[in-house]
Structure 1
Amino acid sequence: MSGWGSFILAAAAFFLSHTIPVRSSVKPWIVARIGAKGFGLIYSILSLVIFVWLIVAANRAPYVPLWEKAAWMPYVTISIMFVVCLMLSFSIARPNPFSFGGVRNESFEPAHLGIVRLTRHPLLVALALWSFAHLLPNGDLSHVILFAAFGIFALLGCKMINQRTRRKMSEAGKDYDALWVATRAGSLFSGCENSASVFLAVSQQLV
C-alpha cells in the first residue's frame, strides 16, 4: 500500500495505539500479564515504530500544496522550538502528579513547582507547540494534516489526563482540586514569578 492509503493507515494506527492501550479498562489487563515495566517498554517501542511509519507515510503521500513556503517561516519554527526545548528540559525527571512523564511524584511539593506552575502538562504543551511550529513551513496537505492532528491530539490529551488523574486521586482518597489550588500559591522560580506571568496566562488557556 502506498500514497494516501498508507498515510491514512499509519495515522489510524498511531491514534489507536495512543488511546486504546492506556484506557482504564485495557491497561490494567495488560500490566497484569507483562508487568508495568514490560508495558512501558513495549508501549514505547510500539509508539516509536508507528511514529516513524507515520512520518515516512506523510513524506510519501501525494504532494498537494496549500500555501507556499516563505523565507521567514523557518525562523518562526526555530524560535518556537527554543521554547519547546526549554519546556522539555524543565519537565523531564521532575515530580508532576498531574500528568504523564513525572517521576518521584510522591515527593511533589506545591511550594516548589518549577514548570508545573505554568501548566499541568508541560510535555503535552511542548508537543503541541512543536506540532504547530512545524505546521507553518510545511504547507502541503499531508503535513498540514499530520502536524495539525498532532497538536490537537496533544491538547485533547490534556483534558483526558485531567479526568483520568482526578479519578485516580479520588480512588486513592486524595483531593485533585485541592492539590491543584495549592499549586497556585507555589513559585515558578525563586523571585521570578512576574517574568512568567505572560506564559502563565497563555498556558492556562491551553490546559
Structure 2
Amino acid sequence: MTGLVAAIVCFILTHAIPAYKPLRAQLIRALGKAMYLTLYSLMSVAVVIWLAVAYSGAPYVEIWQFGPWARWLPLLVMPFACILLVGGLAQPNPLSLSLADASKFDPDSPGIVAITRHPVIWAIGLWAISHLPVNGDGAALMMFSLLLLLGLTGPKSLDGKRRARLGDDVWISLSATTSNVPLLAWFKGKARLRGIGFVPLAGGLGLYTLLILLHERVIGLSPLP
C-alpha cells in the first residue's frame, strides 16, 4: 500500500507544482517551452503508469461490503462516460482536452461540448464515482477518490488556463453555448443538444460494449450483476 500512496502523492505533485505560475515560468525560461512540455508529458505518463502498477499490486483491505445494487451503478453510468470520452477526444474543443484540431471548433455547432465544455474530465469523474460503491477496499478507495478529485477540480483549473491563453473576450464567446456542469447550459436554454454527432454516440457505445466484454478478462471480475 505504501507504493500506491507514494504514486498518488507524486501524481498530485505533478499536477500541483506546474500550476504554480512563477515556478512554471522559471522552468520554461531555463529549459525552453518545447523541452519543458516534452519532459512534463513524459513525466506525467511515467507517473500514470506507476500509479496503475502500484494499484494493481496493492493488497486487498476490505473497508465495506457492497450490495447487489452497487453493480448496477457503473453499468448505468458508464455509457454516458464513454460517450463523453470519445466525443471529447474526437471533436474540436479549444476550451478543454481534445485530440482534434481546436481551430475547427464552431460555437454554433459545438457537438459534445454542448453537454459540457470538459467532456473528457467529466468522463473520468463519472467513471470514478460510479466505481467507488462497488469497490470497497482501501486501494480502490484511494485510487477512485483521486480520479474523482481530478474530475471535480480539473474543469476549474482548465477554465483558468484556457481563459488566460485565449483572452477573456474569445473565451466568453466560445463558451457562451456550453457549461462546466453537464447539461446546465441546456437547462438554461443556452445550448441545443442536436448535432452531437455520430462518432460520440457510436464510438462511445462501442467502447462501452468492449469494456463489458473485456472487463472480466482484464480486471478479473465480471461487471454484470
1:112 pairs with one of 97, 104, 109: 109
Q: How many corresponding residue pairs?
A: 186
Residue aligning to 2:171: 176
CA distance in 2, matches of 1:85, 1:91: 10
Residue aligning to 1:129: 126
Specify the code of the residue in structure 2 equivalent to 1:187.
Answer: R
2:192 pairs with one of 179, 187, 190: 187
Specify the code of the residue in structure 1 equivalent to 2:127.
Answer: W
Summarize the alignment of residues 1-207 of structure 1 with structure 2, pairs less than 5 Å apart.
3=1, 5-21=2-18, 23-27=20-24, 33=31, 36=34, 41-101=38-98, 103-170=100-167, 174-183=169-178, 185-190=190-195
CA distance in 1, matches of 2:96, 2:75: 26
CA distance in 2, matches of 1:69, 1:190: 39
Specify the code of the residue in structure 2 equivalent to 1:176.
Answer: W
Bigger Cα displacement from structure 2, 130-139 vs 182-191: 182-191
Cα deviation, residue 69, structure 1: 3.5
Q: For structure 1, which runs of at least 5 residues remain unmatched after alignment?
A: 193-207
The two structures, once aligned, show a CA RMSD in angstroms of 2.9
Residues 77, 136 of structure 1: 8 Å contact kept? no
Summarize deviations over 1:77-110 as a string: whole Å, max 9, x none. 2332222111112111322121122532223211
What TM-score results when the alignment is normalised by the length of structure 2?
Answer: 0.69
Residues 89, 97 of structure 2: 8 Å contact kept? no
Cα deviation, residue 29, structure 1: 5.4
CA distance in 2, matches of 1:103, 1:47: 21
Structure 2 vs 1, CA of residues 190 and 79 (structure 1 numbering), >3 Å: closer, same or farther?
Answer: same
Specify the code of the residue in structure 1 equivalent to 2:193.
Answer: L
Structure 2 vs 1, CA of residues 45 and 134 (structure 1 numbering), >3 Å: closer, same or farther?
Answer: farther
Secondary structure of the residue that 1:80 maps to in structure 2? helix
Cα deviation, residue 125, structure 1: 0.2
Structure 2 vs 1, CA of residues 104 and 56 (structure 1 numbering), >3 Å: closer, same or farther?
Answer: closer
Misfit runs of 4+, over 3 Å: 21-36, 38-45, 58-63, 69-72, 182-187
Fraction of identical pairs, as percent: 28
Specify the code of the residue in structure 1 equivalent to 2:143.
Answer: L
Q: For structure 2, which runs of at least 5 residues remain unmatched after alignment?
A: 179-184, 198-225
What TM-score results when the alignment is normalised by the length of structure 1?
Answer: 0.74
